[in-house]
Amino acid sequence: MNRKLPALAAVALVLAFFVALVENYFSHPSAVTTFAEEQKNIYLTFDDGPSDRVTPVILDILKQEKVPATFFVVGTQAEKRRDLLKRIFDEGHSLGVHSYSHIYNDIYASPSALLNDIEKCNEVICSVTGSYTHLYRFPGGSFSVKPEFIETVKKNGYTVVDWNASFMDSEIKDVTAGKLYTAALNTVSNPKRIVMLAHDATDKTETANALKEVIRHFKKKGYVFKKL
Ligand SMILES: [Zn+2]
């Protein structure tokens, strides 16, 4: 009898283990479904391009780091740099409309003026890529525009994209890559879904200089890079 005791104890242990496993599953069903919820996403977005000096540097870094991004372009810039617009598209990034003229007094004169400006920019995009985009970013963001402008844009099938983190590369004085890196990290307001604003223009070389370190930071933190 005594010899059988260790065997019985082992069977009891195994049974207890399976009971605990099943109990745990039913009392914490979410434990097996949280992976998708826990994924942290970051969307890099670049406004105002394409630009001769900065777009190629940004694209090279994105390629090296193997991350996608979204470019909200300005029609007047894109018309002069169709090759760069094509390169953005060919390298797998998303394109969105930012504005044709980017002149606030003109585009915000009325909802129909805004729509004309958007469609003119989208024509440039389509003439290079063969397709229209539904992505739109208000110059200055949607935060400060009148509701009728937002309604008009949405009614015409556009998805309005704002941001919740920023390189602050339009605001910071005596700009350095280090300051932009710090701003990009410190302005994150929704750590689960970051939409990061940066600018792509001739005078934004420090933005391009900060980009690699920003990407590496968020990679280290476990973020998945996505395009819109
Ligand atoms: Zn802009």
b/e 182-196 (16+ beta carbons within 10 angstroms → b): bbbeebeeeeeebbb
pLDDT at 10: 54
pLDDT at 38: 80
Number of domains in the chain: 2
CA of 106 to the centre of ligand 1 (A): 14
pLDDT at 4: 55
CA of 160 to the centre of ligand 1 (A): 14
CA of 108 to the centre of ligand 1 (A): 13
| CATH code, domain carrying 63 | 3.20.20.370
CA of 23 to the centre of ligand 1 (A): 55
Say if residue 126 is in the same domain as residue 172.
yes
pLDDT at 18: 46
CA of 3 to the centre of ligand 1 (A): 81
Between 80 and 15, name the one with better pLDDT. Answer: 80
Domain span holding position 185: 40-226
CA of 41 to the centre of ligand 1 (A): 23
CA of 130 to the centre of ligand 1 (A): 24
The answer, yes or no, to whether the previous bond of 6 is cis (omega within 30 of 0) is no
CA of 143 to the centre of ligand 1 (A): 14
The answer to whether 101 touches 75, Cβ cutoff 8 Å, is: yes
Say if residue 159 is in the same domain as residue 62.
yes
pLDDT at 25: 42
Spatial distance between the Cα atoms of 199 and 106, rounded to a whole number of angstroms: 21
- Which range is least confidently modeled, 18-27, 84-93, 133-142, 193-202? 18-27
Inter-CA distances, 37 with 30, 168, 193, 223, Å: 10, 29, 11, 13
CA of 74 to the centre of ligand 1 (A): 8
- Which range is least confidently modeled, 18-27, 86-95, 163-172? 18-27
CA of 38 to the centre of ligand 1 (A): 32
**Average pLDDT of span 194-210:** 97
* pLDDT over threshold 90, residue 24: no
Say if residue 112 is in the same domain as residue 213.
yes
Say if residue 90 is in the same domain as residue 7.
no
Say if residue 110 is in the same domain as residue 156.
yes
Cα angle for residues 48, 194, 87 (degrees, 5° grid): 40
**Average pLDDT of span 132-152:** 97
Closest CA to 70 of 157, 137, 170, 168: 137
Say if residue 59 is in the same domain as residue 1.
no
pLDDT category at 220 given cuts 50, 70, 90 is very high
Rounded to the nearest integer, the mean pLDDT of the chain is 89
Closest CA to 214 of 190, 161, 178: 178
pLDDT at 22: 40
Query: pLDDT exceeding 90 applies to what percent of the chain?
Result: 83
Say if residue 6 is in the same domain as residue 88.
no
* pLDDT over threshold 80, residue 106: yes
* pLDDT over threshold 70, residue 103: yes
Inter-CA distances, 38 with 85, 130, 159, 165, 196, Å: 34, 36, 25, 19, 19
pLDDT at 214: 98
